[in-house]
Amino acid sequence: MNKRRTLLVLAVALAVGAALFRAARPAVPTPPMLSVPVVARSAAPAQLVVYVAGAVARPGVYHVPPGARTEAALRAAGGAASNADPVAVNLAETMRDGEEVVVPVLGDRATPARTCAAPRRRATTSRSRFSRQRGGGATKKPPPAAPVDINQADVAQLEALPGIGPRLAQRIVAFRTENGPFGDAQALLDVNGVSDRILREIEPYVVFSGR
């Protein structure tokens, strides 16, 4: 009987000792959660800043939405002036931030139509509706070796004249085809794009057959 009581006391003592030991053990700290940095994506600019100059109603800096065409920038500047070259700028071209649009006057092919801030670019006259040019001013065209017959010359021969580009040469040929031969140099002023300045430049180098 005493032996059984002694075993029971020992068992209770062991149980109490184990409980006290567990209570006295320090708590194991929970490792902190590692935070993963979130890399923010660079947002596209809300507006493009462009500069419109030349033969327009209100030259200046304007804001257009991303993906806007050059026509939107020209419209923001009040549209082309009355003396602007209507075929010098590609109205359907997509614009970029910092770009410059210069609308030349009729007959002035030395003016760059589009430039961009970085890298800065200039355009050369092309057959598209808006010309792109590289470099500074255009080189002066040498005069033709022989007089050009305005009433017989084709587009390529007319382009040899100073101040006459491919578009203006095409308009001269189209006007001649529709209205007949030109009577004299002054009759060329009826062609859209032929100014007094251009007429003075080409007059020493042209003749008129069939008058």
| CATH code for position 189 | 1.10.150.320
Alpha helices for the chain (secondary structure H): 2-24, 70-76, 155-159, 166-179, 196-202
User: Among residues 115, 137, 156, which one ends one of the domains?
Assistant: 115
Q: In this structure, is residue 99 part of a structural domain? A: yes
- Among the listed ranges 15-29, 43-57, 197-211, which one has the minimum average pLDDT value? 15-29
| Dihedrals phi, psi of 35, to nearest 5 degrees | -90, 135
Q: In this structure, is residue 141 part of a structural domain? A: no
Q: In this structure, is residue 64 part of a structural domain? A: yes
Name the amino acid, one letter, at 24.
A
Please indicate, yes or no, whether residues 101 and 156 belong to a single structural domain of this protein.
no
For the cut 60, the answer to whether the pLDDT of residue 123 exceeds it is: no
The CA distance from 92 to 161, in Å, is 30
Please indicate, yes or no, whether residues 110 and 53 belong to a single structural domain of this protein.
yes
User: Among residues 93, 115, 137, which one ends one of the domains?
Assistant: 115
Q: In this structure, is residue 153 part of a structural domain? A: yes
Q: In this structure, is residue 194 part of a structural domain? A: yes
Residue 72, exposed/middle/buried by CB under 10 A (0-12, 13-18, 19+)?
middle
Taking the model in full, what pTM does it have? Answer: 0.37
The rounded Cα 17 to chain-centroid distance in angstroms is 84
CB 53 within 8 A of CB 101: yes
Number of domains in the chain: 2
Q: What is the pLDDT of residue 93?
A: 87
* Residue 90 neighbours by CB under 8 Å, 6+ apart: 70, 113, 114, 128, 129, 130, 131, 132
Please indicate, yes or no, whether residues 156 and 110 belong to a single structural domain of this protein.
no
For the cut 60, the answer to whether the pLDDT of residue 117 exceeds it is: no
- Angle at 157 (CA atoms; ends 152, 158), nearest 5 degrees: 85
Tokens of 14: 């062991």
Tokens of 151: 């009433």
For the cut 60, the answer to whether the pLDDT of residue 118 exceeds it is: no
Task: Print the domain residue range for 172.
Answer: 148-207
